[in-house]
Amino acid sequence: MNRPVLTIATANVNGIRAAFRRGMGEWLTARRPDVLLLQEVRAPDEMLGEFLPVGEWDLAHHECMTKGRAGVAIASRLPMRAVRIGLDHDVVTNSGRWVEADLELPGGGELTVVSTYIHSGTVGTPSMDEKYAFLDLVTARLAELRADGRLAVVAGDVNIAHRNVDLKNWKGNLKAAGFLPEERAYLDRWFEAGWVDLGRRLGGDGPGPYTWWSWRGKSFDNDAGWRIDYQIATEALAERAVKAEVDRAPSYDTRWSDHAPLVVDYELPGA
C-alpha cells in the first residue's frame, strides 16, 4: 500500500524579499513542499503574508527585535494546532531564532516542527558567548521535545559543520567559528541523545552535500561549501524519512540565497 508522503523543506532565505526577487517563488511553485521552514526572513509579520498567502498557508513567525536581522518562520499547508515562539530569555540577540508549531497530520496525530537560526558567532567576540548560551537553551529544549516521544523535527541554519566531510576546506577552518570543537560537541550531544541527522543519514557519507556557499569568489562554482543546514528528527519520525535532497541551484546566477534548501520526504501512516 502506498502511504502518503509529507515533504518538508528548510531554507535560509537571506531576506525573503530578496529571495523572491531572485526567483524563490518559482522554486516554491515547482517544489510544492507541504511544510516550509524559513530562516533569516528579515521582514515584519505583516509582510510575510505577501509572499506566503494566508489561506494557502498557515503561518507562524518569530520576528527579530532588531529590524532587518534574523527572523524565523513556519509555513504549513497542514493545519496548525499550536504555536510557540522563541527561546529569548529576554536577550535581544536571541530573538527571531526559534519558532515551533504542532501540525495536524492528514491521517490523524500530530507533528511538531521547529525552524531555528542559530548565531554565526565570531571568535574572540561576545557573539561567541551569545552563540554558546543559545545552544544551551536549544539543548534543553531538544530534551523536552524528546521526553514525550512525539514526532518532531528541528530544522534550520545551525551555523555549525559537524564533521570534516561537512565542509570543503576543513583544514583551513579548524579555528574558525562554525567548526570549533566546542560548537561541534553540541551536535555530538544532540545525536548521542537520539536526534537523527537526516541530511547525513539519507545524503550518503559525504563529502557534502553542502548547503551554503559564500557569495564571494568561486566558492559556488568550485563547490567549496559548508553543510550547516539540518533537519534533525526524533527516532520515531526519522524512521519515516525516505529521501533527503539539497536543491542546489544549477548555476551561480540562478541562486536566490547563499544557502540551498534541504528537502526531506517523510512517509506517513495511511489515513
From first to last of its 271 residues, the chain has per-residue pLDDT tens of 567 899 999 999 999 999 999 999 999 999 999 999 999 999 998 899 999 998 899 999 999 989 889 999 999 999 999 999 999 777 899 999 999 999 999 988 999 999 999 999 999 999 999 999 999 999 999 999 999 888 999 999 999 999 999 999 999 999 999 999 999 999 999 999 999 999 999 999 999 999 999 999 999 999 999 999 999 999 999 999 999 999 999 999 999 999 999 999 999 875 4
According to DSSP, the residues that pair with 243 across neighbouring strands are 265
CA 154 to chain centre: 7
pTM of full prediction above 0.85: yes
**Domain count of the fold of the chain:** 1
Question: Measured between alpha carbons, how far is 48 from 73 in angstroms, rounded to an integer?
Answer: 9
* Per-residue model confidence (pLDDT) at position 68: 87
* Per-residue model confidence (pLDDT) at position 90: 78
Are 229 and 12 in contact by the 8 Å Cβ rule? The answer is yes
* Per-residue model confidence (pLDDT) at position 270: 58
State the sign of the Cα–Cα–Cα–Cα dihedral 19, 25, 31, 32. Answer: positive
Supply 199's cell numbers.
Answer: 541530511
Range of the domain at 24: 5-267
* Per-residue model confidence (pLDDT) at position 271: 45
User: 200, 207, 202, 271: which is closest to 242 by C-alpha?
Assistant: 202
Domain CATH number, residue 179 = 3.60.10.10
Are 238 and 197 in contact by the 8 Å Cβ rule? The answer is no
According to DSSP, the residues that pair with 114 across neighbouring strands are 100, 154
